[in-house]
Amino acid sequence: MRLSRSLIPTLKETPAEAQIVSHRLMLRAGLIRQQSAGIYAWLPAGLRVLHNIANIVREEQARAGSQEILMPTIQSAELWRESGRYDAYGPEMLRIRDRHDREMLYGPTNEEMLTAIMRDSVQSYRDLPQMLYQIQWKFRDEVRPRFGVLRGREFYMKDGYSFDLDYEGAVESYRRMMLAYMRTFKRMGVRAVPMRADTGPIGGNLSHEFHILAPTGESGVFYDSSFETIELGDDAYDYEARADLDAFFDRMTSLYAATDEKHDEAAWAKVPEDRRREGRGIEVGQIFYFGTKYSQAMNFTVVGPDGARLHPEMGSYGIGVSRLTGAIIEASHDEAGIIWPDAIAPFRASILNLRQGDQVTDALCERIYDALGRDALYDDREARAGEKFADADLMGHPWQVIVGPRGAAKGQVELKHRRTGERAELDIESALAKVR
């Protein structure tokens, strides 16, 4: 994209309402604009990040054998009355009435809906196990939305659901998702720590939250410092080998890590003193096993191998896709702005034209822009070099291709790596080879 023709409204000043760095930087880098409390519009560069995150989630869900579906955001109240959660869910649920005065709601999650779809679709044990997910907008009427997209009211979530014949199968699904989640977060360039967690309104008795460690995290966390160094998502494990799933799960859960709600002083005391860490975490995902809570409540049964009916065992698995855009900035920024991990950056490179109007410089910029295609943001504005440098650092793309008249005359550019600050004078082909 050409910056002179794009809607990426960067700001020099920090908006007063933004209290944490990711909220400030997302506004200043022109990624989002608030429309009402906890509800945001995603501008072109912000939407590219959101799609990059969602696509990594998609690829890793596919690898784990989960099928993508898409369910509606608007749900009927009676569906939630079947499970008893319509009243239990409380004021976070946005309740609405349609023109025929039917009670509807904007879905905060979809356990009931997918259980009803499965109830209407499968009758035999041969149709299980199934693992399905969607990436869809949710609404939770948070009493105090804050910190930008970290705690919004309308937010983008991957929510997955597993259906198994028995407890053993449900445990395998849970462990499959543990591996998929750790691989997913690793690919996004962040370290997320799996922590034992409470289950809250979703239910069940087994749950882990995945936390990115960041000083602005809302959750207090206690963890073994080994999590700062061990390999968190390596590819050595095979989803089709139960022993691999068990080995990975044991490795991830044998080290101590718990949110403050689940912190256990006795277990904590067994962690060698020099390895005990306390900190703050941002919850970017949570997985739950809750057995037959929904299949019982909604009378979803299949005919088992012996002809008797059984209630499938379920779990659900969420990732905060829109929250991750902010959480990753909390974990990866400096005083100049965002430092995007390569895999999710809105663009791979900013092209900075330092002498707009100079024919040789313009021509070289166009050549580089053509070569990099949609992965580049070409700053072709009539603006001073200093402004272009500041905006490129603020927007945080991994590479900056800096084109000035002296270098252009020699067919050279200056290449800057945003994360390390390293600079090099290179000919075009060498520079393009590094950026691609």
Among positive and negative, which fits the CA dihedral 332, 338, 339, 344? positive
Q: In angstroms, what is the minimal distance from the CB of 246 to ligand 5CA?
A: 23
Distance from C-alpha of 283 to C-alpha of 371, rounded to nearest angstrom: 39
Q: Which is nearer to ligand 5CA, 111 or 380 (CB)?
A: 111
Quick check: 323 binds ligand 5CA (CB under 6 A)?
yes
Residue type present at position 81:
R
Phi first, then psi: what are they for 124, rounded to 5°? -120, 155
Torsion of CA 181, 182, 185, 191, to 10 degrees: 140
Q: Which is nearer to ligand 5CA, 281 or 396 (CB)?
A: 281
Q: In angstroms, what is the minimal distance from the CB of 166 to ligand 5CA?
A: 21
| Span interacting with ligand 5CA, options 220-228, 246-254, 318-326, 345-353, rule CB under 6 A | 318-326
Q: In angstroms, what is the minimal distance from the CB of 108 to ligand 5CA?
A: 7
Taking CB under 6 A as the criterion, which residues in 181-220 touch ligand 5CA?
Answer: 202
User: Number of residues in contact with ligand 5CA, rule: CB under 6 A?
Assistant: 20
Q: What mask, x for binding ligand 5CA by CB under 6 A, covers residues 84 to 113?
A: -------------------------x----
Question: In the 3-class helix/strand/coil scheme, how is 267-317 assigned residue by residue?
Answer: HHHCCCHHHEEEEEEEEEEEEEEEECHHHHHCCCCEECCCCCEECCEEEEE
Which of 30, 189, 285, 346 forms a contact with ligand 5CA (CB under 6 A)? 285
3-class secondary-structure state, position 331 = helix
Taking CB under 6 A as the criterion, which residues in 111-170 touch ligand 5CA?
Answer: 140, 142, 151-152, 155, 157, 159-160
Which of 34, 66, 83, 286 forms a contact with ligand 5CA (CB under 6 A)? 286
Q: In angstroms, what is the minimal distance from the CB of 209 to ligand 5CA?
A: 6
Q: In angstroms, what is the minimal distance from the CB of 318 to ligand 5CA?
A: 3
Quick check: 350 binds ligand 5CA (CB under 6 A)?
no
Quick check: 320 binds ligand 5CA (CB under 6 A)?
yes
Peptide bond connecting 398 to the previous residue in cis, omega within 30 degrees of 0:
no
Structure token pair of residue 116: 């009803």
Closest CA relative to residue 160, chosen from 137, 129, 133, 180: 133
Q: Which is nearer to ligand 5CA, 320 or 396 (CB)?
A: 320
3-class secondary-structure state, position 58 = helix
The answer to whether 35 and 347 are in contact (CB under 8 A) is no
Q: Which is nearer to ligand 5CA, 283 or 380 (CB)?
A: 283
Residue labelled with tokens 């609405």 = 96
Distance from C-alpha of 229 to C-alpha of 231, rounded to nearest angstrom: 7
Q: Which is nearer to ligand 5CA, 159 or 393 (CB)?
A: 159
Residues that bind ligand 5CA (CB under 6 A): 109, 140, 142, 151-152, 155, 157, 159-160, 202, 283-286, 316-318, 320, 322-323
